[in-house]
Amino acid sequence: MLGTLLKQEAKSQGKTILGMYATLAAATLLVLGLFFIQKAAGGPMETIFLFGCGIYILTIAIVFVVNFVYLCFHFYQSMYSQQGYLTHTLPVKTTQILHVKILVSFVYLFLTEIFSVLSFFGIGLIADGVSVSVMSNGIQKTLTQIAHELGISVFILLFFVLLIMILGCLDALLLFFAGSSIGQLAHRSKGAFGIAAGIGLYYFSQIVSFLVIMIGAFALFSGTKEIQPAPWAMGGFCLLLAGWAVVYYLINRIIVQKHLNLE
């Protein structure tokens, strides 16, 4: 039953998410088409090409925001609104329903990040007319230089970048899922209370994170000079993100288990 629930959740969310992926692909093809037209026609098409680039950048931002807002809205609708009554009649544990929704939402949001990056590099690859190997060598040289300046290996640098991307997506989703869950504690206007709770939780987490980062930075840079600050700083930042993910998850889990109060 859990596998069926996972497939249904992916299919339910995918109807909208895949449409936004198609929008991103269309914007990518538009920029490439305008580039080749501008290249063939010369100067007169330059303004139109720049306009297309503006549309492309705006599209990336819209796709990410729409996907994120939709995933948060879908979580609320399928967990706590009238649709939630049907969800919670399924013969699976409430925590399993929560885990499935978190997993599917995270995968879709993370793929949005990946596809946006691939789209950007794909445009650069085709527009510059370079081979994959040439671009790969250029990226490798850049990463090697950055890693050298930070005092870490390229593998460690890529590991931290990927980990921060993963934890960033997970934190953002769990934060607003937690806000929706806190909203269920209100007797009325649960949706509005949930939005306010999410915003309040965000500002609280930012204040606490800022204080932790300042204390950590002071302890790191005032300590021994023999250590490399970059890996410690990135590792500490990842631990901070992971810590907030645990906090947000526990808020969702506790409310779903003990304080479930559907509209």
- Cα–Cα distance, 37 to 49 (Å, whole number): 9
Mapped onto helix, strand or coil, the DSSP state of residue 225 is coil
Q: What pLDDT does residue 127 have? A: 64
Q: Which residue has the tokens 């691939």?
A: 118
> CB of 228 within 8 A of CB of 152?
yes
Q: What is the mean pLDDT of residues 24-48?
A: 75
Out of 63-72, 107-116, 192-201, which region has the weakest mean confidence (pLDDT)?
Answer: 192-201
Tell me the torsion sign for CA atoms 93, 177, 171, 252: negative
The region, left, alpha or beta by phi > 0 then psi within -120 to 50, assigned to residue 102 is alpha
Give the pTM: 0.82
The alpha carbon of 196 is separated from its chain's Cα centroid by a whole number of angstroms, namely: 21
Q: Which residue has the tokens 């538009």?
A: 30
Task: Give 162's contacts (C-beta < 8 A, 6+ positions apart).
Answer: none
How many other CB atoms are found less than 10 A from the CB of residue 111? 14
| Helix/strand/coil percent split, the chain, to 5 | 85, 0, 15
Q: What is the mean pLDDT of residues 191-204?
A: 86
* pLDDT band per the 50, 70, 90 thresholds, residue 161: confident
Q: What pLDDT does residue 11 have? A: 85
* pLDDT band per the 50, 70, 90 thresholds, residue 263: low
Compare 150 and 156 and report the one with higher pLDDT. 156
